[in-house]
Amino acid sequence: MTLTFADNGKFCAKLISRFIACVRQAMKRLGHRLPYTWVLESEGRLHYHLMLWLPRGFVLDKQTLAKWWPWGTTWTACCRLVKGWARYMAKFDCMDRIPKDIHVFGSGGLDETGKVAVQRAGLPRWLQAILPRGGSARRFPGCGWTNTETGEIYVSPYRWTPWGWAVRDLGDLAPAGASV
C-alpha cells in the first residue's frame, strides 16, 4: 500500500499512526491482529509505503481508505513477492528531503521472530553479513555497533573521506597493540 500526501505542507508524523489505528481497529473487530511495517519516502511528494498482513477476504475499499487517509491518495495491491516489496521499501535514497527528527520507518503487531527480522533488516548490510544468525545489535556511540548478547563491538569497514566512502585499511580495525 502507498499513502501519498496531496500537499507536503500538510505532513504530520502522527498521521501514519492514525491510519494504522483505523486499520487495527477494523482487524480487532474481526478478531485479528494487524502485523505491519511502513517506511516514509520523499521521492516527489512525501508518501508512506506499507505492508499490511490482512486476513484472506478482507478488502480495504476506496471509500474506507479515503475516510481513513483524507490527506491525499492511496494505492493498494496484493503483494505476491514480499521480499521484493520489502527490498523496495528498504531503499533509503531520498533521506535528505525528509523533515528532520522524523521516524522514517516503523512496524507493529509482530511476534518476536518478526520483531527480530525487522530490527535486523534495519542494520547496515556489512553488519548483517557478520552478525550471527538470530543475533541483534545496537549502535554504540563513538565505536560502531555492539552485539546485544555478547557485547562484542563491530566497527564499520567503511570510513568517510572528502571523496566519499572508502574501505578502511585492515590496520584501522585492529585493536590497539595488535598486529595484522
Q: What is the pLDDT of residues 40-81, one digit of tens each?
A: 887 788 889 898 888 888 888 999 999 999 999 999 888 777
The model's pTM is 0.63
Between 43 and 16, residue with greater pLDDT: 16
Between 1 and 101, residue with greater pLDDT: 1
pLDDT of residue 70: 94
Asked if residue 82 and residue 130 are part of one domain, the reply reads: no
Asked if residue 80 and residue 129 are part of one domain, the reply reads: no
Least confident of 10-14, 16-20, 21-25, 160-164: 160-164
Length of the chain: 180
Asked if residue 170 and residue 85 are part of one domain, the reply reads: no
At 142, the pLDDT band (50, 70, 90 cuts) reads: confident
Mean pLDDT of all residues in the chain?
A: 81
Asked if residue 112 and residue 147 are part of one domain, the reply reads: no
φ/ψ of 143, rounded to 5, equals -125, -35
Looking at 122, 141, 172, which one is the last position of a domain?
Answer: 122
Q: How far is CA 54 from the centre of its chain?
A: 19
Looking at 122, 152, 168, which one is the last position of a domain?
Answer: 122
Asked if residue 172 and residue 95 are part of one domain, the reply reads: no
Asked if residue 65 and residue 41 are part of one domain, the reply reads: yes
Give CA–CA dist 121/113, Å, rounded.
12
- Of the segments 84-93, 127-136, 155-164, which one has the largest average pLDDT value? 127-136
Identify each DSSP E strand in 67-104 by its residue range. 72-75
Asked if residue 86 and residue 16 are part of one domain, the reply reads: yes
pLDDT-above-90 percentage for the chain: 21
pLDDT in tens, 107-129: 888 888 777 777 787 788 889 88
Asked if residue 50 and residue 29 are part of one domain, the reply reads: yes
Asked if residue 58 and residue 14 are part of one domain, the reply reads: yes
Give CA–CA dist 33/55, Å, rounded.
9
Asked if residue 179 and residue 113 are part of one domain, the reply reads: no
At 160, the pLDDT band (50, 70, 90 cuts) reads: confident
φ/ψ of 177, rounded to 5, equals 85, -5
Between 14 and 172, residue with greater pLDDT: 14
Sorted by sequence, the CB contacts under 8 Å of residue 71 that are 6+ apart come out as 5, 6, 10, 15
Between 91 and 55, residue with greater pLDDT: 55
Please give the tally of structural domains in the chain: 2
Looking at 77, 103, 122, which one is the last position of a domain?
Answer: 122
pLDDT of residue 176: 43
Give CA–CA dist 84/110, Å, rounded.
20
Per the structure, the complete domain to which residue 168 belongs is given by 124-180
Asked if residue 45 and residue 131 are part of one domain, the reply reads: no
Asked if residue 145 and residue 74 are part of one domain, the reply reads: no
Mean pLDDT score, 102-110: 79
pLDDT of residue 17: 92
